[in-house]
Structure 1
Amino acid sequence: MQIGFIDFSKEERNKVLATLKLLGVQTALDELGVGSIRDAYSDILFPGISTIQTRAKYFVLIPYLFEKASKQKLSNGNEFHRWINDSEDKLVETLLRNSDDEETGIIGKNALRQKRSVKMKPSSIYWNGLRTFEIVRSSGISLSAACNVAWSEERKNDETDIKTDGETFDDDTAGHGNMVLFSPITAESDFVKTASIELTIKEAKFLESRILNATMSKNTLLSYLLKNKMNCNSFDEIPTVDLPDIISEDYQRAKSFADFIIGAHIRYNVIFSNYEDEDMIFEFNEWRTEFISKEFDLTNILERIPCNYATAKFCKDFSSAVHKNDTKAIDELIVAREKAVKGERAKLCKPKEYLYNYDRPVHFYRLDYRFRTAKTIIADIIKGLEGYANV
């Protein structure tokens, strides 16, 4: 089956490409439509982080590219944007050449080997994070609008019409100097020739400061882990003893929901296997025994975040059926929920079209709320602060 979309704009196109990319990764599946809850807690705990980010270095490379682009003789904002994208493609070779062979996360590495470029550029992938950490100072400005601003600043235009995502950006200082767009960070050398994927000490200190002080990221689990240099192995292993109360409460809510919803995903696989996967049947029974032995406050979890009625009702009905040990009601709920979420693509409604894979059960993993990406970003910054990166 081929999937298509109408190409309304570059930014809309990138959003769709990001979604399609995630559909190819097992951890992105959301057969039961709980992604809104997962994403809401991800934004609370790890703001500015997305699952398709790879390394912290890109948070400084993009401002470097904007600074360099502003010195070019470009015709307009669109050309400015194209120059940024072309330069991102060229940086792939630089990063590969100057980084250790075992380094991962260089965007475009595989594409370069195939003599092509990636469609999703780092500037698009990291733009929301740049705004969240106030590296880009204007929280509502889009990437394309920022390119227009940077180009017009170069032309000394004091009045620039800046269009942002869904609103008009009306800042009197917008046309007065490139530093309005970005918090000050300047490359220490000719980065287009010398940059590696690792952070320098200066870059690490800059990112640490931004994450610890930006309005949306300070006082979050992300900033706490970074401030205390805690590079934990997994989301579940984060120590809660010294966590500030509000962070601890949000972490416990998220963890409790992960403990809960994995049961629904396990049961999904029991149904999908036509009740023949004995391992999943065992897993579900084990999960239910443990789950009903603990206190679980679903209302507290859902009241903390925006949650639509249908999603909240499914969670509440599933919890009730589990406590009643009503497997018929549980299974009917799961089948109906997938049909409501996926429509004609619902696997459980088409057993002859979709084959169950015993080696790859659907969504058989716990939610970690983008922790794995956050762990990489934190590790990069800690390593840079310790001085192991190239200076």
Structure 2
Amino acid sequence: MSSLAWIDFDEAERQRAQRIMALFQERETRDELGLGGIRDSIADHLFPGTSTIQTRLRYMLFIPWLFQMLEGSAAGPDQLATEARALENRLANALKAGGESNGIIGRDAGADLQRLPSSVYWAGLGTWGIRLFPGSTDNLFSSMRHLQRNRPRVRESEDAASEAQALQIWTPALPPRPKDILEAARFRLTPDEAQFIIDRLVAQQPRSLLAFLARTGGGTADCRYIWEHPHLADFPGDARSLVGHGEVFSSVMHGASLLYNLLLSEMREKPDWIEEYQSRLQEWREGLDMPAIRAWSLDSFWQAIDHPAHRIRPAAKRFVTEWLALVRSGDVGEGRLTPAARMVQDRERRLKTSQSRFANRAVRDRWTGASGVERLSFRWAQGRSHLRDLADAQ
């Protein structure tokens, strides 16, 4: 019996590092106060495989289809990477030719595109069980010849089924590739393609809210936050509980983000910015559901959001605990010397050290006036977009 192993220092750590690096390019992931691990733990429980820079759902099929077109190539890794980039650029042109305008990755950048669709969707393809190959795109290009050379041989081995599966790049259930994919493509899914994606979600992420909403067709609700969903009461118990935790966490910590922006606005001596954040902080205070906040159990929260892909550091837990105590006491003042202000400044200084906007004037002067000012929504916008694409299949 032969075996196949992917040689890398630590592929899981490599992919985790790539995800972290990618977050710095996502507008909605600005994490000035070190809450990203908590935010992403919740999001990955509710909407696994999504990211804030995904656009349309059919890319989950476009990428496998394009990469399948490379599988017969005898080219080396570098040439395969070049050919893959060319195919992804051609896809953008085909989507424009098909009448699409919104959601095309690379629509304006063309050949200068820095972040290819494959890099945006690669992790999600693995999470949903569409991609079976365990490595990165670079690993795949390096392994392509080995995969092609060994496929015929393993069919005759004693353990042919398991070894053939190990050599698979994509799930065998992948729908067939449209013949005109590089001529005129559309984002609209066919019913068979939509059912395939639903089946993958149910099989690979059965406890996620995304799989539940995909299966029940409940993802078309027009609400800004998942806790405003009209059918929240019908969610599975674990998901409903996590959504409740997410709502309180988002509400409580929003005040810290607003205060952070206010303090910087005052240091920059920007009257318009100061007035804006003072107003928003007052609205935040008035909108707090204090009975729910006082009843919120942090112990239950930490247990509910625990996720193998994310490590939440003790300092982050301590910051949330101390900020929650201030909110419960009603002691979130606006002055620079208040306990709340000191807590926010100390947190950012510890995280950014010499690049802290509170400590480094040059860095502060480059600040454009807004950092993480919206409430955390845990990628509901991306989940809702994908669910609408499922619902619109025809």
* Length-normalised TM-score, structure 2: 0.80
- Tell me the SS of whatever aligns to 1:318: helix
Q: Structure 1 residue 58: deviation in Å?
A: 1.0
* Length-normalised TM-score, structure 1: 0.80
* Unpaired stretches in structure 1, ≥5 consecutive residues: 1-9, 161-170
The residue aligned with 2:374 is 365
The residue aligned with 1:76 is 76
Q: Structure 1 residue 289: deviation in Å?
A: 4.8
Aligned counterpart for 1:374 among listed residues 376, 383, 394: 383
Aligned counterpart for 1:154 among listed residues 148, 152, 175: 148
**Mapped contact 2:54–2:382 kept (Cα < 8 A):** yes
Q: Structure 1 residue 152: deviation in Å?
A: 2.9
The residue aligned with 1:21 is 25
Residue-by-residue CA offset, 1:269-327 (whole Å, 9 max, x unaligned): 23222296244234324433543622332332223325211001011111112333443
> Do structure 1's residue 141 and structure 2's residue 128 form an aligned pair?
no
- CA 1:201 to 1:99, structure 2 compared with 1: closer, same or farther past 3 Å? farther
- The 5 A counterparts of 1:146-295 are 146-156=140-150, 172-173=163-164, 178=168, 183-214=173-204, 217-229=205-217, 230-233=219-222, 234-235=224-225, 236-239=227-230, 240-274=232-266, 277-291=274-288, 293-295=290-292
The residue aligned with 1:322 is 327
The residue aligned with 1:131 is 126
Between the two proteins, the alignment pairs up a number of residues equal to 352
For 1:284 and 1:264, the matched residues in 2 are separated by 9
Q: Structure 1 residue 218: deviation in Å?
A: 1.9
**Mapped contact 1:92–1:108 kept (Cα < 8 A):** yes
- CA 1:11 to 1:263, structure 2 compared with 1: closer, same or farther past 3 Å? closer
- CA 1:285 to 1:243, structure 2 compared with 1: closer, same or farther past 3 Å? same
Residue-by-residue CA offset, 1:208-251 (whole Å, 9 max, x unaligned): 2212222xx22211112222222223224223111110110111
For 1:77 and 1:352, the matched residues in 2 are separated by 43
**Mapped contact 1:108–1:118 kept (Cα < 8 A):** yes
The sequence identity of aligned pairs, in percent, is 23
* Unpaired stretches in structure 2, ≥5 consecutive residues: 1-13, 155-161
Q: Structure 1 residue 50: deviation in Å?
A: 0.8
- Tell me the SS of whatever aligns to 1:190: coil
- Tell me the SS of whatever aligns to 1:273: helix
Residue-by-residue CA offset, 1:24-70 (whole Å, 9 max, x unaligned): x3x23211110110011010000000111111111111111222212
For 1:352 and 1:191, the matched residues in 2 are separated by 49
The amino acid that maps onto 1:109 is R
Residue-by-residue CA offset, 1:187-219 (whole Å, 9 max, x unaligned): 1323222322332333222212212222xx222
- CA 1:157 to 1:209, structure 2 compared with 1: closer, same or farther past 3 Å? closer
- Tell me the SS of whatever aligns to 1:192: coil
The amino acid that maps onto 2:83 is W
**Mapped contact 1:136–1:183 kept (Cα < 8 A):** no
> Do structure 1's residue 118 and structure 2's residue 113 form an aligned pair?
yes
Consecutive aligned runs of 4 or more in structure 1 exceeding 6 Å deviation: 10-14
For 1:353 and 1:79, the matched residues in 2 are separated by 41
For 2:330 and 2:108, the matched residues in 1 are separated by 49
Q: Structure 1 residue 16: deviation in Å?
A: 7.4
For 2:321 and 2:178, the matched residues in 1 are separated by 55
The amino acid that maps onto 2:229 is I
